[in-house]
Every structure is written in structure tokens, then in C-alpha cells.
Structure 1
Amino acid sequence: MLGTIVNAVAIIIGGLTGILLRKGIPDSFKNTIMQGLGLCVFIIGLSGALKSENIILVIFCIVIGSIIGEAFAIEDKLQKVGDWLEGNVGRGGEGSMAKGFVTASLIYCVGAMAIVGSLESGLTGNHETLFAKSLIDGITAVIFASTLGIGVVFSSIAVFVYQGIITFSASFVKPFLVAEVIREMSAIGGLLIMGIAINILDIKKISVGNMLPAVFLPIFYPFIEPFLIRVISFFEMLL
């Protein structure tokens, strides 16, 4: 858990630093910075998504994962947590705390480093990936908090819980974590990060939170592979 603890602390420190800097940044600068960050987040997601070597599996996982996420209303629950924080901790502008919490939580949780780093931490006790992620998250938390507010600081709680669960569960899923599975999990995470970028840029509201279960579905690849082979064969016959 050491890597996850360090990661959460880095977000808190970076977020609080961003809050301190917030008043000195004009609104026009904040808007432009957020647009730039949105573009950067999109490229990060795209580079991860392009690593997939099994697009049928990605599509299957996104569809099934979205159904599961909608059934459990994951994004609504995240939003409710953000709204609760907004009402009980304070306001930094209408909806800013909730938006900062949800946006930062998703960005910090769905990336490849969060998944792979937590798995490494749980399986081998190697925290290097999470330490590297901590540095990156701490720096980006400064920028996000300066524009989105204190909700970014509270995303450290979501990161701690999310990565902690993956770390503790790693030993149970170890038999299924072949290289192909990890690659496709990372690719799906990249795809979801692209969705977050679209949200940041206000192009279209995408319910990324409800797609989160898709990231973990490649673990079940050995069981669904026969079905996917039949689907591929069916489309090949049509072509």
C-alpha cells in the first residue's frame, strides 16, 4: 500500500499548492490552461488506446462494462459524493468542487499507471510505477486545483480506495494477468481517458464513470475468447 499512500499524499500536496496559486491566475488564463490540459489528456489517452491488438475485445468490454456501470450508476454515485463535499466542505463557485472531484478522480484512476502500478505493488511489492505516477499526479494536481478548485484534493480519497482495492486483489487475479490481458486493460483505460478529455473540452458529456468496469473485463478474456472467435468468424463470413 506504500505506493498508493504516497500517490494520495502527492495529490493532496499538489492540490493544496494549486489552491494557493488559484487567486493569482486570471480566469482567461484558467480557461486556456484547462483547454491545453484537455488536449494533453486526449493525447495521453490516444497513445494508450492505440496499444490494443484486439479491437473486438475492446468493443466487447466497453459495451458490457457500460451496461454494468449504468446498472450500478457509478457516475451518479461519484457525482453525489462530489455534491456532498460541495455542500459540507464549502463552495468554490457553483458546482466547482463536484466537478473537480469527479474529473480528477477519473483521470487519476483509469490510466494504465494506476492499474499496472497497483498490480505490481500488490504482486511484487515494487512501488516504482506508483512513485512515478505520484510525481506526475502531484504536478497535474497543482494545475487542476488552480482551475477546478479544492475538489481535486479530495480525489485523493478515491485514488486511495481504488488503487488500494486493486493492490489487495492482485494476488487473487494473478493467474489471469498475462501480458495480453494487461495490454488490453491499459488500452481500454486509454480510451476512457480520451472520454475524460472530451468532457474537459466541453465537446460532449460522456459518462466515463459508468464505463469503468470495462477496464477490468479483459481479466475474463480466457473465458470469453471462444465467444469472440465465433463473432470474428461470423463477420469474416459476411465480408
Structure 2
Amino acid sequence: MILLGSLINGALILLGGFIGRLLQNIPDRVKETVMLVIALAIVVLGVQMGIQSDNFIIVMVSLVFGTIIGELIDIDGMLNRLGQWMEGKLDGGKLSNKEANKGSLAQGFVTGTLIFVIGSMSIIGALDGGLRNDHSVLITKGIIDGFTAMILASTMGVGVLIAAIPTVLYEGLIAIFAGFISAFIPQEALDLFLKQLTATGGIMIAAIGLNMLGLTKIRVANTLPAIPVVAIIVAIMYVL
């Protein structure tokens, strides 16, 4: 079953999120410290991924042009509006008593989606599931996502659980079309793409961690177009 890894990943996010909602009464200082530790670990993970590129010009150009595209179409704004719309629906349109937490669902949804979706583990794991029926990468990622969702949901709310939906859809679609990808893309080009994507995604992940630490306010969602830009650049390099 090629979607097994994606479904397990989503289920572990939901499980961690539900547990996190039950742990809302733990001391704030504990949640704050754990969140900061997770944020720091995310930064380190991002840096580790980012330095894997052997051609950093590709990464930099992809990020610059991808961010320009993302800012022009405002992906971050669209995701936030989607989260706020969901919040309104879940609250039955009665947000007046929750003015102070109005952005909680949106924040949880956007943050969770970015953390769970961005990164090479999603793509590599989905490709492994689709091409070789090997789900070990996505299951490992799911365990990490589950613990992350546990902490995020205890502080950011139910929006973190909803982030499981785009995660499963994203990984599932990659797994389904993995066969088509392998049929049309030479292995050498695919390996080059994954290496540069790993580095590009790593920088995005590091930015998420820095935002969580409160050191930056980068609209990471607006950097997402860098992913197809990487693919275009790699394709041009391979052809030439």
C-alpha cells in the first residue's frame, strides 16, 4: 500500500496533537522551555540539511526567486486566511469571546503545516513509499512529527491537528505520482534534485525554528515556490 507511510505520518500527528490538547494544564514554563528546545532542534536540523548542497548557488537562486514569487502571490496570507476561516467555522462564527486567541487556530495550522510538510523527509519518504513500497522514512518522520505536534497543540491549539490533512495529501500525492516521476526523470537528475531540495528545505526549516525562537519574523510560507524553482534549475542544468 503506497499510501501507508503518509497515513501513519498523519495519524501520529493527530495522536500527538490530541495528547498535547490534554496536556494544556502542564506549567507554562515547562511548555515554553520545551517549545524553545524543539525550536532550537529545528534550527540545527535545518542547518544540517542546508549544508548538504554541493552547489549553494542553486539553493540561493531558488530561494531568492521562489520568495519573490511567494511574496507576490502572498502564500502566507492565503494560509492565514484559510486558518482564520476554519477557526470561524469551528467556532460557529462566535469569536467575540476569544478575541485574544483569534489567530491561534491559524497560527497552529500554518506553523504545523510548514513544519510537517517542508523538508526532504516528506519527499524522500513519499518517493520511497511510491517507488519501493518502503515506508520507514515516513514512519520515522511521523514519530518526530507526533512529538512536535504534542507540544505545538498544547500551546497553539487545534490548528496543529488540522495540519495533518495537508501533510497526508502532500505526501500521498508524491507517493502516487512517484511511478510517473521515475519513468520520465533519469536517476542522476533525480538525485541532484533531491540533494538541492534537501538544502533548500533545510534553510526553510531553520527559518521556522528562528521564528519559533522569536528571533525573526520570516514569512516562511512565501518561500515555498523555491521548491519548483529548484526543479526547474536542475532540469536546465541536466539538459545543458
Distance 2:19 2:118 in 1: 24
User: CA-to-partner distance for each residue in 1:196-217, whole Å, 9 max, x for gaps?
Assistant: 1111112221111111121233
Local SS of the residue matching 1:178: helix
Does structure 1 residue 39 correspond to structure 2 residue 47?
no
Q: Deviations over 1:65-119 (max 9, x none)?
A: 1123233322122111211122222469332111111111100111221111112
**Correspondence for 1:233:** none
Are 1:121 and 1:127, in contact at CA under 8 Å, matched by a contact in 2? yes
Match of 1:164 in 2: 172
For 2:208, the equivalent position in structure 1 comes to 196
Task: For 2:32, give the aligned amino acid.
Answer: N
Show the 5 A alignment for 1:114-193.
114-174=122-182, 175-176=185-186, 177-193=189-205
What is the aligned-residue RMSD (CA, Å)? 2.1
Structure-1 residue corresponding to 2:112: 104
Match of 1:234 in 2: none
Deviates more, 1:85-94 or 1:161-170: 85-94
Q: Secondary structure at the match of 2:101?
A: coil
Q: Tell me how far 1:26 sits from its aligned partner.
A: 2.2
In structure 2, relative to structure 1, the CA distance for the partners of 1:71 and 1:172 (3 Å cut) is farther
- Change in 2 beyond 3 A, CA 1:54/1:15: same
Change (3 A) 1:171 1:213: farther
* Corresponding residue number in structure 1 for 2:94: none
- Superimposed CA distance per residue, residues 125-164 of structure 1 (whole angstroms, 9 cap, x where no aligned partner): 2211111111111122111111222111111011012212
Q: Deviations over 1:8-53 (max 9, x none)?
A: 111111100100011x222233222222221111111111101111
Give the whole-Å Cα distance in 1 for the aligned partners of 2:26 and 2:33: 11
Paired position in structure 2 for 1:67? 68
Alignment of 1:83-94 (within 5 A): 83-90=84-91, 93-94=101-102
Is the contact between residue 193 and residue 234 of structure 2 (CA under 8 Å) also seen in structure 1?
A: no
Partner of 2:8: 6
Aligned residue pair count = 227
Q: Structure 1: which 5+ runs fail to align?
A: 230-239
CA–CA distance in 1 between the matches of 2:169 and 2:238? 34
Q: Which runs of 4+ in 1 moved over 4 A?
A: none
Cα distance in structure 2, aligned partners of 1:57 and 1:155: 29
Would you say the 8 A contact 1:123–1:170 is kept in 2? Answer: yes
Q: Name structure 2 gaps, 5 residues minimum.
A: 92-97
Of all paired residues, the percent bearing the same amino acid is 37
Q: CA–CA distance in 2 between the matches of 1:3 and 1:64?
A: 32
